Amino acid sequence: MWVFPFTRDKDYQGRGIGKKMVETEIQEAGERGLTRVFVLTRKPDYFSKFGFGKGPVIEQKIYKDCIACPKYGNGCDEIYICKTVPNATAVLAGVL
């Protein structure tokens, strides 16, 4: 599962909204039986608080989503990180 980038209006920062969004994504991933959550981010320190760190690269996914970006191959400033999901409870089969 990928957590897509999000930003908060400065008036809403510090209220735990981003934290709740990330925690919800991790919980939903576990409920769906997914074992990892991935992020491309410019703020890896923020996500490290939730246990995200370096992980295996999924070349096909990165290529598919990044190829149209003007920064692709020209100094992309996003960092790829992932988190192993604790307590995955369901099993999914098929192609996503």
SS3 68: coil
Query: What CA–CA distance (Å, rounded) separates 2 from 22?
Result: 11
Question: Which tops the pLDDT comparison, 80 or 46?
Answer: 46
Section 4-14 average pLDDT: 72
CATH architecture of 2-84: 3-Layer(aba) Sandwich (3.40)
Section 31-58 average pLDDT: 85
Phi, psi for 25 (deg, rounded to 5):
-60, -45
pLDDT band at residue 94, thresholds of 50, 70 and 90? Answer: very low
Q: CA gyration radius for the chain? A: 14
Query: What CA–CA distance (Å, rounded) separates 35 from 81?
Result: 14
Give domain limits for the chain: 2-84
Q: Are 77 and 42 in contact (CB under 8 A)?
A: yes
Write out the H or E segment, with its range, that includes residue 45.
helix 44-48
Query: Which tokens belong to 62?
Result: 């990165």
